[in-house]
Structure 1
Amino acid sequence: MTLLQLTHVKRWMDLHQGRHPVELCAWDLVLTAWVLSWMALPVSTLLGNWWMLPLCLAGFLLPTAYANWRRSLHRRGRLRCDWLTAL
């Protein structure tokens, strides 16, 4: 996902937080993990904690994976996902 797409989804979540509080919380957790992975990458590299690099990579890919997972659930009719229009 691009930064612009992340911003659009976050804006949609903020505008609809009264009707979708659980989705807002889930998206905030995804964004928190994404930011933490960006912060952990230089620290783990400088300290030589190479075992953290796969975790950082997973954090980088988490917003895209979450959006794709929600899109697949929406297409199968298992879960309604209104914020997909923001992408």
Structure 2
Amino acid sequence: MDLTQLMQVKRWLLLHAHYHPVELGVWNLVLVCWLLGWVAVPGALLAQQWAALPLCLLGFTSPNWYVGGRKRLHRAGRLRCDWLTAL
């Protein structure tokens, strides 16, 4: 996902926060993981903490994993995801 798509989902969730408060909280958690993944890379490289690099990779790919999982569940009819129209 690019930054524009992240922003579109966030905007949709903020506009519908009254109806989807838990989903907004989960998306905020995904964005925190994404940001920590990007911010931690230079620190891990400088401190030579090579074991932290896979965690950073998981962090900055978390929005892709989350959206992909939500799309799959929505298509299967197991979970309704209204914000997919924002993408």
TM-score of Structure 1 vs Structure 2, range by shorter chain? over 0.9
In the superposition, the TM-score normalised over structure 2's length comes to 0.99
Q: How does 1:42-81 map to 2 (within 5 A)?
A: 42-81=42-81
The whole-number CA distance in structure 2 between the counterparts of 1:33 and 1:60 is: 7
State the one-letter code of the partner of 2:3: L
Runs of 4+, deviation exceeding 2 Å: none
State the one-letter code of the partner of 2:32: T
The percentage of aligned residue pairs carrying the same residue is 57
RMSD over equivalenced CA pairs, Å:
0.4
The whole-number CA distance in structure 2 between the counterparts of 1:64 and 1:52 is: 20
Task: Name the count of aligned residue pairs.
Answer: 87
The 3-state SS of whatever aligns with 2:79 is coil
Q: Deviations over 1:31-73 (max 9, x none)?
A: 0000011110000000000000000001111101100000000
**Unmatched runs of 5 consecutive residues or more in structure 2:** none
Give the CA deviation at 1:11.
Answer: 0.3
